Amino acid sequence: MTDLVVVGAGLFGLTVAERMAAAGRHVTVVDRRDHIGGNAYSETDAATGIEVHRYGAHLFHTSNARVWEYVNRFTAFTDYTHRVFTTHRGEVFPMPINLGTINQFFRSALGPDAARALIAQQAAEMAGRTPANLDEQGVSLIGRPLYEAFIRGYTAKQWQTDPRELPASIISRLPVRYSYDSRYFSDTWEGLPVDGYTAWFERMIDHPRIEVRLGEDFLDDGAEVSRASTRGRVPVVFTGPVDRYFGYAEGDLAWRTIDFEWETLPVGDFQGTSVMNYADEDVPFTRIHEFRHFHPERTYPADRTVIAREFSRAAVRGDEPYYPVNTPLDRERLEAYRALAASEPDVHFGGRLGTYQYLDMHMAIASALSMVDNVLSR
Ligand code: FAD
Ligand code: UDP
């Protein structure tokens, strides 16, 4: 007999399962996919031996000491430092915007103070106003010319929503630096799991009190472990989409999904770096990943490389939901779903899909640890 059912073997679900099993509980994890790891899953490409991230490239980073200590119990990390470049009108610039980007764009040689003064002048239209949306946030952070070159077109492709309707928070993830530091993330720790994401996740569930059932949908009433079979009998942690759980009773929450176009090319190096963004709207994809560059320490074939182009679009039911759009209507619907969730005290909603929040991996883990501490262990 199980003490807890965890729906979803993504990082939220795996963390809950691992902690609860360590605390002596029997845990059953169900996932509708045929693998563990959720969106952070990766596998070895059979033809080239290159580790590929099937649901989009995943870079681990955190400044949370508890999370860093926790993940290091299951895997060591390489010293990979993520850097991104962006192509705008046939020219390549470093991303996020830093002194290198600014000086290349303006054909200048400004120091930090002069660059700050220039950007302040270019953001003057926002002076004294609190940015109310992504468009205003962009202009106030980097001024209109840089915003229009590097953010507006990319964001339009990524979200296909008027940037004035998107929350400012989407780009507050992206730093602006008045130095030549071109690291993509500003966190204390970053790196990639030395022997891959899947080896890491397998160690998390390698416990006699954890049973994992793959290829089973919890919302399929015919499944052995389902909403119908668990109701009133065993507590559930649900990390699938909250709107689907409630039969979309309050309307669909809006998500973005990504179509990946995979290609194996007969060259040893296609673009010289792991991620190249494409800022302009006339290029239909947002970015190209070249997976070999995530592991320069590995020996990969010298004559073949795997790339994936990302095309972003609105998700419809049945698509993989990737990014919550979070318009005011979505916030309203989410409140209604939260009220419904409150009426099911034995079902705990967590993770990116269960709470309709953009969570990085370290945030999903931190939030799972606090659910274990504050809710499940009581
Ligand atoms: P998920 O990983 O989505 O796992 C949920 C699981 O629940 C899935 O496996 C799903 O199959 C299962 N499920 C859903 N419904 C049911 C059901 N009814 N029955 C059974 N199973 C069900 N984070 C970073 O830190 N760095 C990055 O570089 C990064 N890049 C990203 C790129 C993309 C394109 C995306 C989409 C996300 C990225 N993230 C990144 C975020 C990262 O993927 C999430 O933080 C992490 O996946 C959250 O884990 P989760 O467990 O909440 O959800
Ligand atoms: N962004 C942009 N230009 C870029 C990179 C990012 O405008 O070259 C914006 C865009 O709105 C995007 C957001 O910043 O949705 C967050 O980017 P990030 O790379 O963090 O998102 P990811 O897609 O990797 O989650």
Predicted confidence at residue 317, as pLDDT, reads 92
Q: Tell me 253's DSSP state.
A: P
Please tell me the number of the ligand nearest to residue 175's CA. Answer: 2
Question: Could you tell me the pLDDT band of residue 340, with boundaries at 50, 70 and 90?
Answer: very high
Cβ contact 28:6 at 8 Å: yes
CA distance 158 to 152: 10
Please tell me the number of the ligand nearest to residue 190's CA. Answer: 1
Distance from Cα 111 to the centre of ligand 1, integer Å: 41
Q: What sign has the CA pseudo-torsion 75, 78, 84, 85? A: negative
The pLDDT tens digits for 275-291 are 999 999 999 999 999 99
pLDDT greater than 80 at residue 371 = yes
Considering the chain, what percentage of its residues have pLDDT values greater than 70? 100
Alpha helical stretches, state H, the chain: 11-22, 65-71, 99-105, 112-122, 134-146, 153-159, 169-172, 197-204, 227-230, 242-245, 328-342, 351-355, 361-371
Verify whether residue 256 is a known catalytic residue.
Answer: yes
Average pLDDT of the chain is: 96
Out of 55, 178, 248, 358, the active site residue is 358
Verify whether residue 287 is a known catalytic residue.
Answer: yes
CA distance 328 to 293: 39
The number of the ligand 1 atom at minimal distance from the alpha carbon of 39 is 2
Verify whether residue 213 is a known catalytic residue.
Answer: no
The pLDDT tens digits for 152-163 are 999 999 988 888
Ranking 169-178, 193-202, 213-222 by mean pLDDT, the lowest is 169-178
CA distance 266 to 257: 29
Predicted confidence at residue 167, as pLDDT, reads 83
DSSP string, 153-165: HHHHHHH-S-GGG
CA distance 110 to 291: 35
> How confident is the model over 93-115, as a mean pLDDT?
98
Predicted confidence at residue 327, as pLDDT, reads 84
Residue closest by Cα to atom 47 of ligand 1: 39
Pocket lining for ligand 2, CB < 6 angstroms: 86, 95, 150-151, 154-155, 158, 170-171, 173-174, 277, 279
Out of 33, 287, 292, 333, the active site residue is 287
- Tokens 């419904």 correspond to what residue? 340
pLDDT greater than 90 at residue 174 = no
> How confident is the model over 128-147, as a mean pLDDT?
92
Q: What HEC string does 229-250 produce?
A: HHCCCCCEEECCCHHHHCCCCC
Distance from Cα 331 to the centre of ligand 2, integer Å: 21
> How confident is the model over 311-326, as a mean pLDDT?
93
Distance from Cα 171 to the centre of ligand 2, integer Å: 7
Predicted confidence at residue 162, as pLDDT, reads 81
Question: Could you tell me the pLDDT band of residue 89, with boundaries at 50, 70 and 90?
Answer: very high
Indicate the Cα dihedral angle 318, 324, 328, 329, nearest 10°: 10
Q: Which one, of 29, 376, 141, 333, lies nearest residue 235 by Cα?
A: 376
Q: Can you tell me the ipTM of this complex?
A: 0.97
Verify whether residue 310 is a known catalytic residue.
Answer: yes
The number of the ligand 2 atom at minimal distance from the alpha carbon of 163 is 11
The number of the ligand 1 atom at minimal distance from the alpha carbon of 322 is 36
Verify whether residue 180 is a known catalytic residue.
Answer: no
Predicted confidence at residue 148, as pLDDT, reads 95
Largest Cα–Cα distance in the chain?
Answer: 68
Q: In 10 A of CB 167, how many CB atoms?
A: 19
> Residues, the chain, total?
378
Out of 177, 227, 292, 333, the active site residue is 177
Q: Would you state the structure tokens that stand for residue 189, as one six-digit string?
A: 């720790």
Distance from Cα 160 to the centre of ligand 1, integer Å: 22
Q: Which of 123-127, 158-162, 248-252 has the highest mean pLDDT?
A: 248-252
pLDDT greater than 80 at residue 172 = no
> How confident is the model over 237-243, as a mean pLDDT?
97
Predicted confidence at residue 163, as pLDDT, reads 87
Cβ contact 47:304 at 8 Å: yes
- Tokens 């080896």 correspond to what residue? 199
DSSP string, 317-336: TTSPP-EE---HHHHHHHHH
Q: Would you state the structure tokens that stand for residue 36, as one six-digit string?
A: 């563990």
The number of the ligand 1 atom at minimal distance from the alpha carbon of 352 is 52
